[in-house]
Amino acid sequence: MPLSMLLGILLLMLVLSAFFSGSETSLMTLNRYRLRHLVKLKHPGAIKAQTLLQRPDRVLGLILLCNNFVNNFASSIATVIAIKLYADEESSVAIAAALLTLVMLIFSEVTPKTLATIKPELLAFPSAWVYTVLLKIFYPLVWLVNTLAHCLLRQMGVDTTKTAHNELNKDELKSIISEAESVMPYRYQKMLLGILDLESATVEDIMTPRNEIVGIDLELPIETIIEQIKNSPHTRLPVYKQHVDRVIGFLHLRKVLSEIHFKDFDKQTIISLLSKPSFIPESTSVHAQMVRFKSEKIRVGLVVDEYGDVQGLVTLDDLLQEIVGELITEEENTVSQQSDGSYLVDAGITVRELNRVMRWELPTEGAKTLNGLILNFMETIPNIGTSIRLHGYPMEILERDENSVKLVKFLPLKSDRLNQTSC
């Protein structure tokens, strides 16, 4: 065979080797979710690629079979060329092998695989058409190779019938949303993260605590009750006798305001306007309670513990705010960033909300508020000026009262300086 033909065959083998190496990397590094999107758009190359990747063992077997054949054939051709050119040199074959290895490494391995990693679709979709045809031609040989490989893996205790699925779990999806700053505003990121947390969040996480419940005590004089109704910032108030554990119903101010100016208005009139109270176990998930509010057409309920004692109050607005946050309600100024990079935080903020705002990972099991988390950590009520590292986050106590922490200051972390969050 003429030397020119041998060189031409060697060049062809190098090109084929580059094609097989690059296409293998491109197919394996394709974004599976973008691939599914392109399949829905009826992209021909994407459809072929997805069909091949449903059985990755077959396409890998085909690629490796072709690539190894091409590489070995190229090595043989290089040996023949070396003998033709330097028949008298004993080291000619070794030099040819070394040169071929270097050339194949650069032009048939590193370069095409790097290109395939950067732009996988550029090579994956055209090659999918080629491999669809080759797989039909060489299917018996590919089947034999895969069968032997599976037998070997089974001997090693590997179950080859189980294939990895590319489905995202909730934590992985939350990570993707958290990193999607370039495609969506931060407030929409918070909304999506809130939706993902609906199943894990309970009404205890978002309820108004017992000591902050505003209600009407029927044991008070009627004049005091009327004044309280007129000045109430809430539209629905729990009505009880002496304490909130003895709730007899909820009063809608829209119903009572039209009656309040009549001379015969009394406590019995209030009782006649009450709606039946709804009691919610504290372990109820936010999602389940939202479904219950919708089915029972109610907007407010009392959260009770295992002993039936009222622990707090939750409304439909609270549930919606857990998802959309400041889009429907004006967000309280519970976290404010200072010029030195530190953060002033109201200790009454829930741990879940603080984690969302600051993108931290404070533990949400146990204490539900920052104040509770500090008290559990310190096992006492810290004095003003006390500095601690709360689960890795340095902070200082700025304000407190007799039984709780009111205001804290979180000192800036190195990561915060690199990626500060606007609050």
What's the pLDDT score for residue 302?
92
Tally of CB atoms within 10 A around 25: 20
Nearest-angstrom CA–CA distance, 408 and 396: 6
**Burial of 47 by CB count in 10 Å (0-12 exposed, 13-18 middle, 19+ buried)?**
middle
Q: What is the pTM of this model?
A: 0.55
Which alpha helices (H) appear in 297-350, and where do they start and end? 316-324
Q: 340-345 long-range CB contacts below 8 Å, 24 or more apart? A: 340/412, 341/412, 341/416, 341/417, 341/420, 342/409, 342/410, 342/411, 342/412, 343/409, 343/410, 343/412, 343/423, 344/398, 344/407, 344/408, 344/409, 345/370, 345/407, 345/408, 345/409, 345/410
Domain spanning 198-327 has what CATH number?
3.10.580.10
What is the arrangement of strands in the sheet containing 216-217, beginning at the earlier edge strand? 216-217, 236-241, 243-252
Domain spans in the chain, listed from the N-terminal domain onward: 3-155, 198-327, 335-418
What's the pLDDT score for residue 331?
44
CATH architecture of 335-418: 2-Layer Sandwich (3.30)
Nearest-angstrom CA–CA distance, 200 and 192: 14
Tally of CB atoms within 10 A around 196: 15
Nearest-angstrom CA–CA distance, 33 and 420: 30
Nearest-angstrom CA–CA distance, 35 and 422: 35
Each residue's pLDDT expressed in tens, for the chain with a length of 423 residues: 788 888 898 899 999 999 999 998 898 888 887 888 888 888 998 888 888 888 888 888 888 889 889 989 988 888 888 888 776 666 777 888 888 888 888 988 899 999 888 888 888 899 999 988 998 888 888 888 888 888 888 888 777 666 555 566 777 777 777 777 667 777 777 777 777 777 677 888 888 888 888 899 998 898 888 888 888 888 889 999 988 889 999 998 888 888 887 878 888 888 888 999 999 998 888 888 888 988 988 889 999 988 888 999 998 888 887 776 644 444 456 788 888 888 899 888 888 888 877 878 888 877 888 888 999 888 888 899 999 998 888 999 999 888 888 899 998 875 444 344 433
Pairing of strands 300-304, 279-281: parallel
Nearest-angstrom CA–CA distance, 36 and 264: 70
CA distances from 31 to 26, 37, 39, 50, 113 (A): 10, 10, 12, 11, 16
Nearest to 326 by CA among 402, 423, 258, 397: 423
